Amino acid sequence: MLAGDFSIIWVDECASTNGTLTAAPPADDGRVHVLVANRQTAGRGRRGRAWLSWPGSSLTFSVLWRFMPGAPAPAGLSLVAGLALARALEGLGAQGIQLKWPNDVLVHGEKLAGILVELLPARGRPPAAVIGIGLNLHLPTGISVPGQSGVTDLSRTLEHELPAATIVLAAILTELHGLFEIYASAGFPALRGAWQQRHAFTDLPVCIRGEDSALYGICAGVDEDGALLLRTEAGLQRVLAGDVSLRPGDGAGA
């Protein structure tokens, strides 16, 4: 990967880097377009939630990734983004990184980073996705995030000083580029094993909460499309959406 493969725009403030790239995707000039913001005034999280971040304390950015013309619907893409982020952080020396389906990055059950993948409407163009990443670098002390049972930051997972945000960004973009190339040629099955090695809830009892339902079972990993597999009383079920947490009473949730 070369620096010239990317166009990186770093702004002081915007509403949401995902919002900006999805609303007005830059023209396809063969580069991967990246938008970084020091501050988001309306950061978006998964499932319609807000994403809170603190200037100087977080790295918030989005990557516009275009697939080859005729590429199939990108199954498992959001898991690949989580895996790339996990590997980049490990490469920087972070200890104990785990993945929670579909793509939260955790350390000891606490959330270190979140990812929001939004597919762009095709409108006759090759498929494209905006991958938005919010990574806690060094949170102010005493922070609590509504709806989040625990949050952590990169500085706490390193035994050495926190690298500059530009170094962290470069490490993540390098991994994203490398894994997306593998994904584009071989699909999620080529990366499934690496994802499962880091899965926080393998063989653990979990609850999956949907809009207005809850499903209980034992986590049995993910399938070749990136769907979560759950062993339930009714048999093995594929889960395509929802929030996973350890079943109440079975341990600390994330």
Contact set with ligand BTN (CB under 6 A):
16-18, 40, 43-46, 49, 51, 60-62, 104, 114-116, 132-134
Distances (CA, A) of 143 to 37, 148, 189: 21, 11, 38
Least separation, in Å, of the C-beta of 192 and ligand BTN?
Answer: 21
Least separation, in Å, of the C-beta of 156 and ligand BTN?
Answer: 18
Longest dimension (CA), the chain: 52
The residue whose Cβ lies closest to ligand BTN is 114
Instruction: Report the residue number, 115 or 254, with the smaller CB distance to ligand BTN.
Output: 115
| 111 flagged as catalytic | yes
Strands 32-40 and 6-14: parallel
**Angle, helix 165-186 to helix 77-91, in steps of 10 degrees:** 140
Q: How many CB atoms lie within 10 A of CB 210?
A: 13
Q: Of 186, 180, 200, 198, which is closest to residue 244 (Cα–Cα)? A: 200
Structural tokens at position 5: 């493969």
Q: Out of 31, 39, 49, 247, which one is annotated catalytic?
A: 247
Q: Out of 31, 46, 49, 156, which one is annotated catalytic?
A: 46
| 125 flagged as catalytic | no
Instruction: Report the residue number, 130 or 187, with the smaller CB distance to ligand BTN.
Output: 130
| 209 flagged as catalytic | no
Instruction: Report the residue number, 59 or 187, with the smaller CB distance to ligand BTN.
Output: 59
Q: Out of 44, 66, 100, 111, which one is annotated catalytic?
A: 111
Q: Among all residues, which ones are annotated catalytic?
A: 46, 111, 247
